[in-house]
């Protein structure tokens, strides 16, 4: 079969990006997507006049001046789209009334923190100075594979050597412990409440926020995905929906095509899976080509815990409220069997396309366990009751600080890890694949996990299950780098076209 023809499994951002760069480079690509829509996790859904957004909080590369923006131009993602850059990443209110604004402008953040906690001046100055320094770096788009690439990458990083030495092995909890002020200590502890979340991840995020390169595109997640899909089809790409791949066809240890659940078979010279990694390896390939290193990774590594998302449509203007608010609670609440000492509430009042005039979409997200919901789902009544309970708990917690909120709620929507699994096939309902830790952070700088499986030819993997840390830019970069790699294998120059 002609190696120029490529089958791509999955029409999420990684699959669409692979298709777009494939089309730009003379490959004939066809995407098979099990859902009826493009975008995978990057999606939204309508409920009685409201649009519940399921993804983008911040998009790295949203600033047209930044290097990372180039990829979104190539993917046709942000053309004529208005970007909102928030003044504060998050606002935290303590039980004693103290308020912390995590201002995205680093000078304002430094001033604010110094006022709140002069006792921590040295930590604050060092922290903000580091963000300023890192903020000049774009998200790395090119995979520093091979000695040449690695040396080039190392040179680019040289001015940051001190930062990596100091913060490279530190996690967010260790950083929080540096604050003597109890409130700031608590704030930083709750901010990235994941074990071993790398400080570098936090510093980069704030650096990108500071240079207004991590904004929100008006319209939200589904229109963002649909623009990329449009770009793909305009470049001649073909996409089949309602097309769930059941098996990757292999002959003589070469991937030669796919079989869909409806029995139809399609053939191509190469197969790229941009779908869930676990299902690809264990179901679509029947576990025949397991890489021991990857297997160990699946056994030992932590995923981003799945989420239970409570989205509300409220007949209330929330413009006077911070866009993301964390409130420390006097009395913990229980959601999905876990006690929570704080609640994080986000509203989308800044995007008028998501709700009718004067009304707002409000959302609260909580980490949760896949098995908890899987077990509940054995009894549909209990499962539904738990969803209802989660929504009621959230509404009543918000009503305590926004009196009358409860009666303004018009629409309630609760998504669990099983919802994520059902619509996108992601393992354990994870929303971003492998959780970033101080241990695997270096992998995401050096091109992720292996993108092939041992003994299987003409087969490749892209997306959040081969790039620890996940995220939209990473998914796009993953597809871009894959086609670059195929161009190299085929002895041709990699080409891109901006939109
Ligand atoms: C609540 C939430 C908030 C987020 N916030 C942000 C954010 O602010 N910024 C950011 O950068 N990222 C964010 N992310 C993460 C980001 O959405 C993901 O990391 C990224 O979209 C992953 O893209 P992907 O293409 O690798 O995977 P996916 O989106 O999972 O795409 C895989 C695709 O494959 C399809 N598929 C699976 N199995 C099959 C099969 N057998 N046959 C055919 N098709 C199949 C699926 O339907 C899906 O469309 C968020 C995610 C969530 C859920």
**Per-residue pLDDT at 163:** 80
Percent of residues in the chain assigned helix, strand, coil, to nearest 5? 40, 25, 40
**Per-residue pLDDT at 444:** 63
CATH 3.50.50.60-classified regions of the chain? 5-45+56-80+218-302+433-489
Q: Which of 275, 284, 426, 427 to mutate to test the pocket of ligand 1 (most atoms within 8 A of CB)?
A: 275
Mean pLDDT score of the chain: 93
Handedness of CA 445, 446, 452, 457 (dihedral sign): positive
- Identify the CA nearest to 191 among candidates 217, 209, 213: 209
Q: What is the mean pLDDT of residues 401-421?
A: 97
**Per-residue pLDDT at 29:** 98
H-type helices in 160-241, by residue range?
Answer: 161-167, 172-176, 182-191, 199-210, 221-234
| β-bridge partners, 240 | 32
Q: Per-residue pLDDT for 149 more than 60?
A: no
In angstroms, rounded to a whole number, what is the distance separating the alpha carbons of residues 129 and 113?
13
Q: Which one-letter DSSP state was computed for residue 160?
A: G
Q: What is the mean pLDDT of residues 392-401?
A: 96
**Per-residue pLDDT at 154:** 54
**Per-residue pLDDT at 146:** 43
| CATH number of the domain located at residue range(s) 5-45+56-80+218-302+433-489 in this protein | 3.50.50.60
Q: What is the pLDDT of residues 265-285, one digit of tens each?
A: 999 999 999 999 999 999 999
Q: What is the mean pLDDT of residues 179-200?
A: 87
- 76 and 231 Cβ atoms separated by less than 8 Å: yes
**Per-residue pLDDT at 22:** 98
3 state SS for 19-81 = HHHHHHCCCEEEEECCCCCCECCCCEEEECCEEEECCCCCEECCCCCCCCHHHHHHCCCCCCC
Lowest mean pLDDT of 197-201, 270-274, 318-322, name the range.
197-201
Phi, psi dihedrals of residue 199, rounded to the nearest 5°:
-55, -35
**Per-residue pLDDT at 156:** 60
In angstroms, rounded to a whole number, what is the distance separating the alpha carbons of residues 278 and 79?
34
Q: Per-residue pLDDT for 141 more than 50?
A: yes
Q: Which two tokens stand for residue 243?
A: 């097309």
In angstroms, rounded to a whole number, what is the distance separating the alpha carbons of residues 201 and 186?
19
Give how far Cα 105 sits from Cα of 26, 109, 168, Å: 43, 6, 23
**For residue 324, how many C-alpha atoms fall within 13 Å in the half-sphere facing its CB?**
17
158 compared with 281, residue with greater pLDDT: 281
Residue minimizing CA distance to atom 41 of ligand 1 = 245
Q: Per-residue pLDDT for 140 more than 70?
A: no
pLDDT band at 159 (very low <50, low <70, confident <90, very high): low
Q: What is the pLDDT of residues 424-453, one digit of tens each?
A: 999 999 999 998 888 887 776 667 788 999
**Per-residue pLDDT at 406:** 98
Name the one residue in this structure whose structure tokens are 């979104």.
72
Three-class secondary structure of residue 162 per DSSP: helix
Q: How many A from CA of 13 to the centre of ligand 1?
A: 7
68 compared with 241, residue with greater pLDDT: 241
**Per-residue pLDDT at 147:** 43
Share of the chain above pLDDT 90, in %: 80
**Per-residue pLDDT at 240:** 98
Q: What is the pLDDT of residues 73-108, one digit of tens each?
A: 999 999 999 999 999 999 999 999 999 999 999 999
Closest ligand 1 atom, CA of 243? Answer: 43
Is 306 close to ligand 1, i.e. is its CB under 6 Å away?
A: no
385 compared with 200, residue with greater pLDDT: 385
Q: Per-residue pLDDT for 292 more than 90?
A: no
**Per-residue pLDDT at 439:** 81
Q: Per-residue pLDDT for 144 more than 60?
A: no
272 compared with 498, residue with greater pLDDT: 272
**Each residue of 163-186: b (16+ CB within 10 Å) or e?**
beeebeebbbbebbebbebebbbb
CA dihedral 71, 76, 82, 88 (to 10 degrees): -30
Is 268 close to ligand 1, i.e. is its CB under 6 Å away?
A: no
Q: What is the mean pLDDT of residues 164-175?
A: 87
Residues in the chain: 499
Q: Which one-letter DSSP state was computed for residue 367?
A: E
Q: Per-residue pLDDT for 153 more than 60?
A: no
Closest ligand 1 atom, CA of 244? Answer: 42
Closest ligand 1 atom, CA of 465? Answer: 26
Handedness of CA 129, 133, 138, 144 (dihedral sign): negative
H-type helices in 270-408, by residue range?
Answer: 277-279, 292-300, 370-376, 380-401, 405-408
Residues in contact with 463: Cβ distance below 8 Å, sequence separation at least 6, in sequence order: 10, 12, 13, 14, 15, 273, 274, 275, 277, 433, 475, 478, 479
Closest ligand 1 atom, CA of 463? Answer: 26
Lowest mean pLDDT of 139-148, 334-343, 382-391, 411-420, name the range.
139-148
Is 12 close to ligand 1, i.e. is its CB under 6 Å away?
A: yes
Residue minimizing CA distance to atom 7 of ligand 1 = 56
Q: Per-residue pLDDT for 109 more than 90?
A: yes
């Amino acid at each position: 079969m002609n190696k120029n023809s490529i089958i791509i499994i999955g029409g999420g951002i990684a699959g669409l990006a692979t298709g777009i760069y494939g089309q730009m480079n003379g490959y004939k690509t066809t995407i098979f997507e099990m859902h009826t829509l493009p975008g995978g996790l990057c999606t939204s859904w309508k409920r009685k006049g409201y649009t519940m957004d399921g993804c983008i909080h911040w998009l790295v590369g949203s600033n047209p001046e930044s290097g990372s923006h180039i990829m979104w131009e190539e993917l046709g993602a942000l053309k004529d789209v208005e970007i909102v850059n928030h003044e504060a990443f998050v606002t935290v209110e303590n039980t004693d009334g103290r308020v912390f604004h995590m201002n995205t402008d680093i000078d304002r953040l430094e001033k604010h923190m110094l006022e709140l906690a002069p006792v921590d001046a040295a930590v604050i100055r060092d922290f903000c100075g580091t963000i300023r320094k890192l903020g000049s770096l774009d998200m790395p788009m090119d995979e520093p594979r091979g000695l040449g690439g690695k040396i080039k990458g190392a040179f680019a990083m040289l001015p940051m050597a001190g930062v990596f030495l100091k913060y490279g092995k530190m996690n967010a909890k260790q950083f929080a412990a540096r604050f003597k002020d109890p409130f700031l200590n608590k704030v930083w502890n709750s901010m990235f409440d994941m074990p071993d979340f790398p400080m570098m991840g936090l510093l980069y995020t704030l650096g990108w926020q500071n240079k207004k390169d991590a904004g929100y595109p008006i319209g939200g997640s589904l229109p963002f995905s649909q623009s990329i899909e449009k770009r793909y089809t305009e470049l001649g790409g073909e996409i089949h929906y309602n097309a769930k791949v059941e098996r990757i066809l292999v002959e003589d240890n070469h991937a030669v095509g796919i079989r869909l659940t409806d029995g139809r078979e399609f053939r191509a010279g190469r197969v790229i899976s941009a779908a869930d990694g676990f299902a690809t390896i264990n179901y679509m390939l029947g576990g025949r080509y397991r890489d021991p290193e990857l297997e160990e990774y699946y056994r030992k590594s932590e995923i981003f815990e799945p989420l239970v998302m409570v989205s509300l449509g409220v007949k209330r203007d929330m413009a006077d409220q911070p866009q993301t608010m964390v409130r420390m609670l006097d009395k913990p609440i229980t959601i999905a069997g876990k006690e929570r000492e704080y609640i994080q509430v986000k509203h989308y009042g800044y995007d008028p396309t998501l709700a009718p005039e004067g009304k707002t979409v409000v959302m609260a997200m909580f980490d949760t366990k896949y098995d908890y919901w899987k077990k509940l789902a054995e009894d549909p009544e209990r499962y539904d009751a738990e969803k209802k309970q989660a929504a009621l708990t959230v509404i009543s917690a918000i009503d305590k600080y926004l009196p009358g909120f409860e009666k303004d709620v018009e629409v309630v929507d609760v998504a669990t890890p099983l919802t994520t699994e059902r619509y996108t096939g992601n393992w354990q309902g994870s929303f971003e694949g492998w959780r970033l830790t101080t241990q695997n952070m270096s992998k995401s700088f050096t091109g992720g996990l292996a993108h092939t499986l041992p003994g299987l030819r003409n087969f490749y993997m892209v997306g959040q299950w081969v790039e620890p840390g996940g995220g939209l830019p990473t998914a796009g970069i993953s597809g871009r780098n894959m086609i670059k790699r195929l161009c190299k294998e085929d002895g041709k120059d990699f080409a891109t076209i901006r939109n």
